[in-house]
Amino acid sequence: MVVGTPKSLAGVRDVAIPPHLTPILAAHLASSVEPKADALLFPASDGRNMRPHSLYWHYYPARKQLVDPTCGSTIFGTLERS
Helix (H, G, I), strand (E, B) or coil at 76: helix
Q: Distance between CA atoms of 82 and 80, rounded to whole angstroms?
A: 6
Which amino acid, one-letter code, is at 42?
F
Task: Specify which residues 28 forms β-bridges with.
Answer: none
Q: Note the pLDDT of residue 15.
A: 86
The domain ranges of the chain are 15-49, 51-82
pLDDT tens digits, one per residue of 19-42: 999 999 999 999 988 888 888 888
What's the helix, strand, coil split of the chain in %, to 5? 45, 0, 50
Backbone angles phi, psi at 74, to 5 degrees: -70, 150
Q: Structure pTM? A: 0.54
Helix (H, G, I), strand (E, B) or coil at 31: helix
